Amino acid sequence: MTNTVEISKKPASVNVGRRRLLKLSGTAALLSAARLALPSGAFAQGAGPEVKGTRLGYIALTDAAPLIIAKEKGLYAKYGLPDMDIAKQASWGATRDNMALGFKNNGIDGGHILRPKTHLYSTGKVMQNNQPLPMYTLLNLNEDGQGISVSNEYKDLNVQKDASPLKQAFERKKAAGKELTAAMTFPGGTHDLWIRYWLAAGGIDPDTDIKVIVVPPPQMVANMKVGTMDCFCVGEPWNEQLVNQNIGYTALTTGELWSRHPEKILGMRADFVDANPKATQAILMAVMEAQQWADKRENRQELSEIVGKRQWFNVPVNDINKRLLGDINYGNGREVKGTNLQMKFWGEGGSTSYPWKSLDTWFVTENIRWGKFEPTIDIKALVDKTNRADLWREAAKTLGVAGAPTADSRGVETFFDGVKFDPAAPMDYLKALKIKRIA
């Protein structure tokens, strides 16, 4: 939907004559001139965004696509933000540090981040000197589309959703004096939680049976190639690239671990959002429109070509496009096509984009499980403080989104091993888990 500015109820030429302008009162003349000067897509209230743009960060992962598409398709400019800068970050650690700086200090005001980072930043848990950085979750960029991959060293085991075949193999390797390593992208982030959940479900303790390390997404494949890790969890296109280079294989996509799981978000510094409500709405609408475009199957090839460009990912299109269509070559003889395991960006009525509070509740709970948060933390208070679903609903209303969600909870979630998470009773979920860091 394109926002328009109503200049007059009667048809009139944009080129208002000098004689007519002179007849207008001073105030009316100013208002008329201001309205005529508004950029395409500026808000109908008469005043556009408070700023012309800011800087958002992204990692070279397919789920950053909506931020990139909004730039490439001119959607930020459409909503009055012609000066938006979408800047590549070297790692999730660099993203954190640049977020702490903020755009005014040559950093970033927001961007493509792992969903739990909003909670970890806001509480100061991963910040320098534990200094809290208030953050908001504005929308969910995508569902599914990540992978857990295993070195070809274990190809004969044909590991899939059940990680237990690795348990004995790991024990033998450990007994031989060799180090075991599982890689993820940021402590307490989504990939950390996916690989921990998968290993623990297979009876492997991620803190005592294997060493979990941090590796930036673009470096995953190179590190496995030189034999420095046994398995890793990362977003695309890196699992597909691993398979294409015959270095390892995908045990499962994360959509098989938890169907329609949340993943990355558009997160922003609270101070920017609070000071620039109209600019925030403009950013939301541009990204939401980009999500709608990206979710269409007929656009997936073009999406792959755009993000694969040198200035964005610098990755071959063939490392991106197939899994975007739900065609999964696991790399160990298994191959499926046309599945529902592809990355989702929008969903019916924006149900993928909508930042359900119940999903934030799971992330905080899971980080309690692994010792990132104390069991006494007020989960609901943290989620309510950081989740701005209200801003999403406001943007959806302006865009005319039909059937947009209005509730806070998506309901009870079920994982691949049959475990259920009721967001109304998170501590009951924790008590039922066997491997965890809390009593």
Task: Give start and end residues of each alpha helix (H) in 276-328.
Answer: 277-294, 300-307, 321-324
Q: Average per-residue pLDDT in the chain?
A: 91
Residue 242 CA to residue 223 CA, distance in Å, equals 11
Residue type, 352: T
Considering only residues 315 and 3, tell me which one the structure prediction assigns the higher pLDDT.
315
User: In which residue are the tokens 């004995």 written?
Assistant: 168
> Nearest-CA neighbor of 367 among 144, 192, 211?
192
The pLDDT tens digits of the residues spanning 59-111 come to 999 999 999 999 999 999 999 999 999 999 999 999 999 999 999 999 999 99
Res. 439 pLDDT band, cuts 50 70 90: confident
Mean pLDDT calculated for residue range 333-362: 98
Q: What is the 3-state secondary structure (H, E, C) of 210-240?
A: CEEEECCHHHHHHHHHCCCCCEEEEECCHHH
* Residues ≥6 apart with Cβ < 8 Å to 409: 356, 357, 358, 423, 424
Dist CA 179 CA 210 (whole Å): 8
pLDDT of residue 3: 39
| Rounded Cα distance, 65 and 332, in Å | 28
What is the sign of the dihedral through the CA atoms of 354, 359, 364 and 367? Answer: negative
Task: Determine the average pLDDT of the residues in 387-404.
Answer: 98
Task: Tell the residue number behind the tokens 């007994």, with chain if given.
Answer: 175
pLDDT of residue 146 exceeding 80 = yes
Question: What is the distance between the alpha carbons of residues 260 and 89, in angstroms, rounded to a whole number?
Answer: 26
pLDDT digits (tens, 9 = 90+) for 30-58: 333 333 333 334 444 458 999 999 999 99
pLDDT at 19 over 60: no
Buried b (16+ CB within 10 A) or exposed e, 17-26: eeeeeeeeee
CB 158 within 8 A of CB 332: yes
| pTM passes above 0.85 | yes
User: 371 pLDDT exceeds 80?
Assistant: yes
Residue 203: CB atoms within 10 Å: 14
pLDDT digits (tens, 9 = 90+) for 211-234: 999 999 999 999 999 999 999 999
Distances (CA, A) of 16 to 12, 21, 23, 33, 43: 8, 7, 11, 9, 22
DSSP 8-state symbol, 143: B
Residue-level pLDDT at 29:
35
- Is residue 17 scored above 60 in pLDDT? no
Average pLDDT score over residue span 315-344: 97
The two tokens of residue 418 are 């049959």
Rg of the chain over Cα atoms, rounded to whole angstroms, equals: 23
Between 275 and 22, the more confident residue is: 275
What's the rounded Cα separation, in Å, for the pair 136 and 147?
26
